[in-house]
């Protein structure tokens, strides 16, 4: 399954683009997605260690399976306020 | 009410909205852009959001605060884009029948907002360098 992950702030800067596409095996979790992203874009590695993921604009757990057909985003540590 | 805006935050209408007959206390918190962080000078800050999710998270915070405390009004506003020094990047306005609920809810809202709402700040330095701020990462380039 091919998925697109939105990137923001430092992760966007590190990757040099605002989204990444990676291929995942069926049943892959968000932990697997993090490993895949680190391989595909090594510059993301420092942030990936602390980042969370969102699916359909909601936080997910690392152990959740990656759903198909919803918007996915990498959420590096936030600094609003 | 929650809002993301590119414009300066005007607190007067927010306070007016919070001042309702059922309220006996209004708490206003403003987060403003600071010049010095860890001894480094910042000339201006800019903020980026994952807007649909930021709005959803802010709505969730308002709903949770209204469940936990009896609030009359609960307003969360975050500014995006460039914010000059000393201007408000975020406003939390809470009104309640009595001050304990208003103080507690406002404190909880800003603390939670800073933990969970997908908004990021970038500090622009006088030498032209600009760093995204990612609080829990350490030792990375420009990340704190």
Structure tokens at B59: 């709505």
- Within 8 A of A43 by CB-CB distance, chain B residues are none
Q: How many angstroms separate the CA atoms of B57 and B113, rounded?
A: 8
Q: How many angstroms separate the CA atoms of A11 and B50, rounded?
A: 13
Q: Which residues 51-70 in chain A show a CB within 8 A of chain B?
A: 54, 57-59
DSSP-assigned letters across all residues of B45-91: EEEEE-HHHHHHHHHHHHHHHHHHS-EEEEEEEEE-EEEETTSEEEE
- The pLDDT assigned to B137 comes to 66
- Within 8 A of A9 by CB-CB distance, chain B residues are 48, 120, 122, 132, 134
ipTM value of the model? 0.95
Ranges in chain B, pLDDT < 50: 138-144
A26-66 confidence digits (pLDDT tens): 999 999 999 999 999 999 999 999 999 999 999 999 999 99
Average pLDDT over residues A69-73: 96
3-state helix vs strand vs coil in chain A, percent to 5: 30, 25, 40
Could A77 and B134 be called an inter-chain contact, meaning their C-beta atoms sit closer than 8 Å? yes
By CA distance, what is A77's nearest residue in B? B134
């Amino acid at each position: 399954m091919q998925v697109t992950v939105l990137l923001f702030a430092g992760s966007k800067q590190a990757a040099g683009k605002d989204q990444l596409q990676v291929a995942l095996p069926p049943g892959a979790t968000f932990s697997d997605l993090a490993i895949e992203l680190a391989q595909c874009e090594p510059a993301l590695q420092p942030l990936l260690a602390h980042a969370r993921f969102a699916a359909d604009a909601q936080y997910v757990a690392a152990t959740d399976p990656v759903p198909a057909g919803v918007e996915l985003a990498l959420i590096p540590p936030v600094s609003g306020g | 009410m929650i809002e993301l805006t590119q414009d300066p935050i005007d607190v007067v209408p927010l306070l007016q909205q919070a001042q309702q007959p059922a309220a006996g206390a209004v708490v206003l918190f403003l987060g403003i852009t600071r010049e010095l962080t860890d001894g480094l000078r910042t000339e201006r800050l800019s903020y980026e959001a994952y807007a649909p999710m930021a709005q959803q998270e802010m709505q969730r915070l308002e709903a949770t605060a209204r469940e936990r405390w009896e609030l009359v009004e609960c307003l969360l506003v975050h500014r995006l884009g460039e914010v000059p020094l000393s201007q408000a990047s975020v406003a939390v306005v809470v009104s309640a029948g009595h001050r304990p609920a208003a103080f507690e809810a406002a404190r909880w809202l800003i603390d939670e907002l800073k933990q969970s709402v997908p908004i990021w700040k970038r500090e622009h330095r006088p030498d032209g360098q600009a760093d995204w701020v990612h609080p829990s990462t350490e030792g990375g380039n420009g990340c704190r």
